[in-house]
Copies of this chain bind each other. A is one copy, B any other.
């Protein structure tokens, strides 16, 4: 049985097949691939697009989604093995995962890190515990990576740019009042490099390098594809000739859990918002961001409201790629 926890476990060919199928489902949205099947959607964090697109996607394929708000409507969960459960958690993931597996055919989970201790949180402990104990496939709806967003992004890039191989992909850190999860940044690195793009990472300071797990994987994918992974703190160099710009804000990992200390380093990126001047340096580049997105903080209105922005298409694609994914995971069971 195979989970969809991270695209690292899936080949480019497999991922492209999902995107190709998503393109078909976009034109022909209704089907019966999930007839009589069900998926549990467990949310430990807020969601608008993910929830709507999974629920609707399951329905359009004849299936049924059950939305579980895991923050208050269900029981707090323990994941450690052998724990004496005399603390807050009333239930072990072992039981929750096994019971849900008796009811439903797929389990999807959103669980952001807690921003306390990256050394343990980089192991993605909750979703991996569910995957270990579930007897049905588990889908990642964003933890420390966001693989469904990767598929939606790549589908949108291919819709606009055609074959993306050898094209210049810029992942740029952008400002935000709070230190955020690195998930979408990690994911952007993974998918752009895996699909043969030259990848540039623009950060305000070396402290914003992403975890070595993802930097290393991107490096490997680029090496295999004969492309390059470049890290820079220079916006001019980063934007010059880019074909696609992807924006994301995140907290610097060396300051993880002690964010007050990060503030002065963060200040170096004060000018990193994407605006028309920066976009003018690109090779007529497109620009995107997963949503939600703070306007005029991460990307200026003039850019968001220009034809170069493909964030709405990317969000729409969530529906199509997730349907392709659910369909395949049900077929393979």
A291 touches B95 (CB 8 A): yes
Task: Say whether A295 faces chain B, with CB atoms less than 8 Å apart.
Answer: yes
A36 within 8 A of partner (CB):
yes
Contacts of A72 in B (CB 8 A): 46
Classify the interface of chain A: helix, strand, loop or mixed: mixed
Contacting pair B102 A74 (CB below 8 A): no
Residues of the B chain whose Cβ atoms lie less than 8 Å from the Cβ of A49:
99, 103
Contact with B along A91-114 (1 / 0, CB 8 A): 110111011101110000000000
| Complex alpha-carbon distance, A47 and B40, angstroms | 13
Q: Roughly how many angstroms separate A90 CA and B297 CA in the complex, as a whole number? A: 10
**The residue from B56, B68, B90, B291 contacting A64, defined by CB atoms under 8 A apart:** B56
With A46-B72, A98-B312 already in contact, 6 other A-B pairs whose C-beta atoms are closer than 8 Å: A46-B75, A48-B96, A56-B66, A69-B69, A84-B297, A87-B177
* Interface positions of A (Cβ within 8 A of B): 29-30, 36, 38, 40, 43, 46-49, 51-53, 55-56, 59-60, 64, 66, 68-69, 72-75, 78, 82-87, 89-92, 94-96, 98-100, 102-104, 177, 291-297, 301, 311-312, 315-316, 319
